[in-house]
Amino acid sequence: MNHQDAKTPRKHYFIGCLFPYMTKLERDRLAVDGNPTVIERKPHIKTWRLGVLVVKGFLYGGLFLNLTQAAHAETVSIAVASNALDAIKFISLDFQKEYGHTTRISSGSTGKLYAQIYNGAPFDVFLAANAREPQRLEEQGLIVKGSRFTYALGQLSLCKQAALKSNSLVGILSEPALKRLAIANPKTAPYGVAAQQVLESLGVWPALKPKLISGENIGQALQYFVSGNTQAAFLARSQIMVKPIAAECFAVEQKYYQPIRQQAVVLKRANDAVAVKLFIDYLKSQKVKTVLSKRFGYGVE
């Protein structure tokens, strides 16, 4: 290399996306022959200044991307059965972090949510605690064709206060100390239907019917129990996994009640909503199935 070559300024190619974020002084100092994509390492241009510009580029660029995502974010309106409320809240937070879309969640008994949807409530997704109501909506032409699927299999538990000494299903239900038994209302709540099926299978429905305290949904049945108003309660396993209670709980064998197939549907108003499709795909993912099974105690298909 000759002396002249040694004096030739070394040119460094600079990331073009940083240039719009520079001040005019920074541009003038870094530009070589008016070319904004090339910089010259001059004695008065310190290395730290380039580092600052790189950081500025990432910060401004990241801010631009965040603002762009926010501008295109959508809200998924979800109607969810009470037993699955905590699970869907948890899943929705992860969904929002991953995709940038938000959710608006309303919960209640499956029967009441169905009535609201039938009467025009503005929901995008319905997550029921059974298959009957989603199937009815399908038959009535109120859902996106082919959108009905089972997202979880509900599990029933019987919980008892310390006053009851027996540790078996039949023993608990036949104890004289059992004065009140909480269940969800069988007319509106699938877990209430399952509880009634258990009592009928055991042949104790007529005897225990006067002792029943029916909650509007499975969440209210839990409140009756934890407040001490009942000595026992049929609850969803998901409830006692999320919020452990000071009571003994036993899984009810599946042979005593029909499977609780909790189904989801997309309502017609959300047919073309990108965020809704993403949410449904996310709900079907193996990641969510693992969460529902391991963290919330549901069965999955």
- pLDDT, tens digit (0-9, with 9 covering 90-100), for 192-209: 999 999 999 999 999 999
Q: Looking at 77-214, list the stretches that DSSP marks H as alpha helix, in order from N- to C-terminal side.
A: 85-99, 110-118, 132-139, 169-174, 190-201, 205-208
Q: Which CATH number is 211's domain given?
A: 3.40.190.10
Looking at the predicted structure, is the pLDDT value of residue 146 above 60? yes
Any domain includes 193 = yes
Residue 28: predicted pLDDT: 54
- Least confident residue range of 12-16, 55-59, 192-196, 224-228: 12-16
Any domain includes 301 = no
| pLDDT cut 70: percent of the chain above it | 76
Last residue of a domain, one of 53, 71, 89: 71
Alpha-carbon gap, residue 207 to 199, rounded angstroms: 9
Nearest to 266 by CA among 255, 254, 279, 256: 279
Alpha-carbon gap, residue 293 to 297, rounded angstroms: 5
Looking at the predicted structure, is the pLDDT value of residue 4 above 70? no
Tell whether 101 and 117 lie within a shared domain: yes
Tell whether 159 and 177 lie within a shared domain: yes
Summarised one tens digit per residue, pLDDT across range 130-141 is 999 999 999 999
Any domain includes 269 = yes
Tally of domains in the chain: 3
Tell whether 66 and 88 lie within a shared domain: no
Tell whether 44 and 88 lie within a shared domain: no
Residue 243: predicted pLDDT: 83
Alpha-carbon gap, residue 140 to 118, rounded angstroms: 9
Tell whether 67 and 106 lie within a shared domain: no
Confidence of residue 31 (pLDDT cuts 50, 70, 90): low
- Both structure tokens of 5: 């070559």
Residue 83: predicted pLDDT: 96
Nearest to 178 by CA among 165, 191, 164: 164
Q: What is the mean pLDDT of the chain?
A: 85
Query: Within 10 A of 234 (CB to CB), how many other CB atoms are there?
Result: 25
Residue range of the domain that includes 194: 155-256
Tell whether 39 and 174 lie within a shared domain: no
Any domain includes 179 = yes
| Residue 169 near residue 252, CB atoms below 8 Å | yes
Residue 157: predicted pLDDT: 97
Tell whether 236 and 162 lie within a shared domain: yes
Looking at the predicted structure, is the pLDDT value of residue 108 above 50? yes
Looking at the predicted structure, is the pLDDT value of residue 23 above 50? yes
Tell whether 146 and 269 lie within a shared domain: yes
Q: Which residue has the higher pLDDT, 9 or 145?
A: 145
Last residue of a domain, one of 32, 49, 71: 71
* Residues making up the chain, counted from first to last: 301
Residue 246: predicted pLDDT: 86
Summarised one tens digit per residue, pLDDT across range 66-87 is 444 444 689 999 999 999 999 9
Give the contacts of 101 (CB within 8 A, at least 6 positions apart). 73, 74, 75, 76, 95, 275, 278, 279
Any domain includes 200 = yes
Confidence of residue 244 (pLDDT cuts 50, 70, 90): confident
Q: Which residue has the higher pLDDT, 24 or 104?
A: 104
State the greatest distance between any 2 C-alpha atoms of the chain, in Å, as a whole number. 107
Any domain includes 300 = no
Summarised one tens digit per residue, pLDDT across range 112-121 is 999 999 999 9
Tell whether 160 and 214 lie within a shared domain: yes
Tell whether 123 and 67 lie within a shared domain: no
Alpha-carbon gap, residue 230 to 232, rounded angstroms: 6
Last residue of a domain, one of 71, 93, 108: 71
Tell whether 56 and 186 lie within a shared domain: no
Tell whether 42 and 98 lie within a shared domain: no
Looking at the predicted structure, is the pLDDT value of residue 288 above 60? yes
